[in-house]
Structure formats: structure tokens, C-alpha cells
Amino acid sequence: MSEESREAQKKLWTDPAKTKLFVGEFPPIVGFDWGLGGLLIRDSTEEWRRRDILVSSGLPKMFWFVDREAGLCGLYGGQVKPLGDTKTGEMTTLLKKAVYERSVEKNAKM
């Protein structure tokens, strides 16, 4: 992605009128890029939001993520309108956190 594209993408994530088109959290400190299937998170900020995770979202509040390195993925499906539903964003975050927590617990038992 070119530097111009990155700057345009940052503006998109910081515009409240446009961010309600997407499901999930897009902190301004996290670097993003585009992958073949969705949005690529370029920076690791938390255990459940690691580097090089591919995410995608859309109507009607569908969200998925793939973390190839950890061997994890998740899908959240809702039937919620209108755009910008904050509860749906919170639920997708809880889903990601739960998937990672259970993976850590499972690996600790092995």
C-alpha cells in the first residue's frame, strides 16, 4: 500500500460518519493495510489483536477474523441495523478475546 493510501485509510478510521459502516474497533495507533480478502492489521497491540490478522466486516453486522500464525479464526453474525450499532462492535471484541483466551487455556493444559 502506498503512503497516500495509508493516510487516506487513517482518515477513514477517524471519521465517525464513516466508521459506522464497519464492525469492530479501529484504533488510530494501529497500522492497517489491505489484504486479498479484507483488512490486514499490521501492528500487534494486544494478544487478541495481533500482527498480520486479516479481518472483514459488513452488512448486516457480519464480522470474521483469521490469525494464521495462531491457527485461530472466528465468525460473528448478526442481523442488526442500522449502521453504527455499538453493541455489535463490543460483541465482536468479546468474541476475539474469548477465542484467544480459550486457546491459551487449552494450550496451557497440554
- State pLDDT tens for residues 31-49: 777 777 888 887 776 766 6
Q: Is the CB of residue 23 less than 8 Å from the CB of residue 88?
A: yes
- In the prediction, which pLDDT does 99 show? 92
Whether residue 60 is preceded by a cis peptide bond, meaning omega within 30 degrees of 0, is yes
Say which DSSP state 72 is in: E
What is the value of pTM for the model shown?
Answer: 0.73
Domain boundaries, the chain: 3-109
Say which DSSP state 49 is in: B
Q: Is the CB of residue 40 less than 8 Å from the CB of residue 49?
A: no
